[in-house]
A and B are shown apart, each in its own frame.
Chain A
C-alpha cells in the first residue's frame, strides 16, 4: 500500500508539475488584478512545443541535443528519491539525499553545457550565472539537510521529512523547521529561476539566467526543458512542503493528499512572493544565498548544541 502510494506520488508529480506554473501565474494575475492565463497554460505550451520540428544551430553538437534529455531523466530520477511529507520515496536508502542533490547537479551541468554549446554570448552569460548561484545555494541546501538529519537521526530523505514528528512549529523542532524552511525557500527560488533571483517571464534582458540559457532550444527540446523545469519546481516544492507539512497520519492516501495540497500551497506562496517582490540586483543574490546558508547553519547549531 505504502509503495503504491509512493508510486502514485511520482505519477501525480509528473502529471501535476506543469500545473504549478499555472497556479503561480494565476496568483500573480490575481495580485495584479488581471484574469491571467488559463491554469493549464503550461500544458498547452508544452504540448504545442512537442508537436513542432526543430532548428539546430550549426555550431551545436550532440551535447546540445543531449541536454534536455539528460536533464529530464535526472530530474525524474530525483523525483524517485523524493518523499512527500510522510509519503516515503519510491527509492529510499541511507544517503539518498546526496544522490538527490547531485542528480540536480547533473541536470544543471548538462543544461549549462548545452547553453555553452551554442557559442552565444547570451547563453554563456546565463550559464555563468547559473553555476554561480546554484553553487552558492548548495551550502544552504546541504546545511538544511544536516540539520534535519541530525534532528531525525536518519540518513534518508524519507526519514528526514517523513517519520519524525516535527511538532508543528513549536519548540526546538519548530525553530529548526522554520529556519530550514526559510533557507530552502531561498534555494527553491534560486534553483527554479523565480523572482527575486530570476524573472521567468522575460528572455532578452541581460539579467536573465535560466531562460537565457535555453534561448537556442526550440520545439521538442524546449518542451522537454520546460517540462523538466516544472518537475524540478515540484521537486523543490515537495521537499519544502514535506518539511513544513503537519499531515502525519496512518493513512498513506491522506498523507499524499495533504502533501499535494502542500505543494500547491507552496506554489501559491511562490506566486505571492513573485507578486510582492522585485527582482534583486544580481550582486544582491549571493548575499541572499549566504543569508540562507546562515539560517541553515543556525538550525544546525540549534540541533547540535
Chain B
C-alpha cells in the first residue's frame, strides 16, 4: 500500500498548490473538501493489513465531518454572504504560488531531522504534513476575507491530521472525538460569527474588521 500513500501525498501537495493558485472561493472550499477526503483514506491505507472497526469508524466520521459537513457549512456561509466570489489575496496569486513552492522546500528541509526521529511510512508524508500546515497559515495570513481564513484554518487542521497519521498517533476514541467535535464546533462557531459579520457589515471583507487597534 505504500505507493498509494505517496500518490496521496502528491495529491495533497497539488491540492495545496491549487489552493494557493485559485482566485475563486468555491474552488478553495472544494479543494479543502477534497483534501479531507484524501486524508480520510490515509489511515486506512496505512493500516490496511490490520483494519479494525474502530479505525474505519474514525476514518468515516472524519471524512464525513471534514469533507462533507464543514465544506457544506462554508459554502452556505459563502452563499449567505453574497459579495464577490474572489478570495482577494494581499499578495498576488503568482507570488502565493512561489511562496508556496518555497514553503515546500522548507518543509522538506525541516522534515529531514524529524524523519530521522520518527518512523516514516512514506518519505513524503511528513513534509506534506508540514507543508499543509504552512499553507494553511499562509492562506490565513495572505487572504483578506474572513471565510478564507476559516478555509486556511481547516487546511492547517488537515496538515496536523496528516502529521498525526504519519506518526500513527492513534489516540483513544475520546480524545479523537473530542478533537473532531472541537474542530466541528470551532468551524460552526466561526461560521456563525461570519454569518453575524455578514449582517453587521455590508460584505464580508476582513478589511473592515480592523477598527480595533492601537
Q: Report if A and B touch in the complex (beta carbons < 8 A).
A: no
Residues of chain A at the chain B interface (Cβ within 8 Å):
none
